[in-house]
Amino acid sequence: MTVDATLLDRLVSAPRLLVALDFDGTLSPLEDDPMAARMLPAARTAVDALTALPCTWVALVSGRSLSDLRIIAEHGDDSPILLAGSHGAEYWTPQTGTVEPADDPVDVALRDRLRAEAEHATATLPGVWIEPKTFGFGVHTRKAAPPDAAKANAAVDEIVTSAAPHWRRRTGHNIVEYAFRDEGKDTAIAHLRELTGADAVLFAGDDITDEDAMRSLEDGDLGVHVGAVASTSADVVVDDIPAFAALLARLAEERGARGGIDCEHV
């Protein structure tokens, strides 16, 4: 889909712009091995072009644990890119480094016990993998046959529902996530908007977990869904990651050509 020039112009002309991006499926193809995910070269080039502009901040907003997000994003301590991990429960900025909430040891102990039970319950189901997360865990079924995926999800649902009915449950592309914290990507967008003082936000994602952030966007912002979808709160749907990378590159080019941008970075 071609993005209407009026929608893009409000980002091009924003005094302070935040470009907040999901990672998996938005900048990187989905991988059977989640830790093998990397940005497509065109996406990396566009992100780098945006980070080089004045009064423009790029943030990665992911359900991944912050430590894993830094690995797959190849994110070093000298990076200007802001990070929001675990759906907005963890952050990294150049000024503060990693910021994580202090969690109750009882929650952490329950997380470890339920994760171990989930691993035991799914151990005989080929292609099922339990991903450790800072505040819970995820059940990956991308490589599993549909019957095995259904068995895994049912078994883990029963484990979590019985012992931790208050935990948040999220579904995504071949993954079900469980967490003892309730933050969503809308939380991340609100925090990053305040942190950067952004006048406008572009948020892009490809999955159900991104809809919290899409619905939280304000007038003057732009929501972009990457890939085919039946229903979304995004303003624009683009076909795939290369198409989205081209949109980011266009934004960087037009915003860079505008000139005259001068403001104080956080």
Which residues participate in catalysis according to the annotation?
A: 22
E-state strands within the chain? 17-21, 56-61, 82-85, 90-93, 97-99, 129-133, 136-140, 168-172, 175-179, 200-205, 222-226, 236-238
Chain position carrying tokens 């005259």: 260
- Amino acid code (one letter) for 68: D
DSSP for residue 196: H
Strand pairing report for 200-205 and 17-21: parallel
Q: Which burial class, exposed, middle or buried, applies to 26 when counting CB atoms under 10 A from its CB (0-12, 13-18, 19+)?
A: buried
